[in-house]
Chain A
Amino acid sequence: MHCCHHLQEDKNQRKANQFEKYERRKIAIMSEHKRKKVLVIGAITPQFIADSIAKHSTQTSIGAHDIFLGQVRADAINGKTVQAIDYSAYEEMAEDKFHEIREAAFAKFDLTCMHTYHSIGKVKAGEICLFVFVSSHHRKMAFDACRWIVEEIKANVPIFGKEIFEDETYSWKENKN
C-alpha cells in the first residue's frame, strides 16, 4: 500500500547511505596507509624537519611525537676520515620494504601518523640522511614505534653506502647490530 511503498524506499535509501559511508571509510583507511615515497635526493635539511613538525599542529588528537635522525658520522677508518656517504639503493625493492615497514608499524602500534625519509646520493658528514617521524596519542607508542621502525630499516632496506674519504678513496659501509 501507499505507506509500505514509502517504507521500502526509505529502506533502500538507508542502505545506499550506509554503503556510501562504508566506501568512504574504506577509502579513508586505505589513504591513511597510502604508499609514500621515502627516498629523497641529497641531505634532509633541518628546515624540512621543522616544517614537518609544524604541519602536524592541526592534528589535535596527537599527544606525542618521536623523531629519529640519522646523521652521517665522520668515522675514522685506517687513518682516514669519512667526508661523506654516497647512498644508492635497489630503489623499487627499497620503496616496497619501506611500505611494508609502514604497514607493519600501523598494525603493531597505535599511531596517528608516520613519515620516513632516506637520502639517496651524497650526504656530507654532519648532515641528516634518515628522518623517521611518528605521532601518537600518548608517548609510549611513539617511543616504541620509532625505535622499532629504525631497526627494521637498518636490517631490511636495500640501501648501500659508499664512505668517501678526504683523498677521494672509499669503502663500503655495512650496518652492524
Chain B
Amino acid sequence: MSIQVKLFGSLVDIVEKNDLAIEGINDTDSLKKKMLSDFPELKGQNFVVVVSKQIVIGNQLLKSGDVVALLPPFAGG
C-alpha cells in the first residue's frame, strides 16, 4: 500500500524532500517508526501526524491513497 507523506518546515531540512511515497505501512505509529528509522535526525524534532488534514491522536489505520502530512510546530501570526 502506497502512502504519500507531505513534509513541512524544519522536517524538509532533515529529509531533504517536500514529500515521500512510503510503502508497506498500515498505520500512523508504524509510519512514525519508519520515518525515525530512515531519518534518525527526526528524533530531536517535535511534529504531529496529520491524515486527510486532521491531526491524529494515538494510532490511526491508513488506507491506500491517504494523504499524510508531518507538521512541525506552528508559527502563524
B77 touches A (CB below 8 Å): yes
Closest CB-CB distance, A60 to chain B, in whole Å? 31
* A157-B74 CB under 8 A given contacts A88-B8, A172-B10: yes
* A159-B53 CB under 8 A given contacts A88-B8, A90-B6, A90-B8: no
B65 touches A (CB below 8 Å): no
Closest CB-CB distance, B49 to chain A, in whole Å? 12
Q: Is the CB of B77 within 8 A of A90?
A: no
Docked complex Cα distance between A162 and B10 (Å): 9
* A70-B8 CB under 8 A given contacts A93-B50, A93-B69: no
Q: Is the CB of A174 within 8 A of B76?
A: no
Closest CB-CB distance, B74 to chain A, in whole Å? 6
* A175-B50 CB under 8 A given contacts A88-B8, A158-B8, A160-B8: no
* A173-B77 CB under 8 A given contacts A90-B50, A90-B69, A93-B50: no
Q: How many B residues are at the interface, by size bracket?
A: 10 to 19
Closest CB-CB distance, B46 to chain A, in whole Å? 8
Q: Is the CB of A173 within 8 A of B53?
A: no
Closest CB-CB distance, A176 to chain B, in whole Å? 10
Q: Which applies to chain B's interface (DSSP): helix, strand, loop or mixed?
A: loop
Docked complex Cα distance between A93 and B51 (Å): 10
> What 0/1 readout, one digit per residue, does chain A (89-124) give for beta carbons within 8 Å of chain B?
110111010000000000000000000001000000
> What 0/1 readout, one digit per residue, does chain A (132-156) give for beta carbons within 8 Å of chain B?
0000000000000000001001111
Q: Is the CB of B77 within 8 A of A175?
A: yes
Docked complex Cα distance between A157 and B75 (Å): 8
* A159-B50 CB under 8 A given contacts A90-B8, A172-B9: no
Which of B6, B50, B74 has the largest count of A CB atoms less than 10 A from its CB? B74
A90-B69, A159-B77 known, 9 other contacts, Cβ within 8 Å = A93-B50, A94-B76, A154-B76, A158-B8, A158-B50, A158-B74, A160-B8, A172-B9, A175-B75
18 intermolecular pairs with C-beta atoms under 8 Å apart: A87-B75, A87-B76, A89-B76, A90-B69, A90-B71, A118-B77, A129-B77, A153-B76, A157-B74, A158-B74, A160-B8, A160-B9, A160-B10, A172-B73, A173-B75, A174-B75, A175-B74, A175-B77
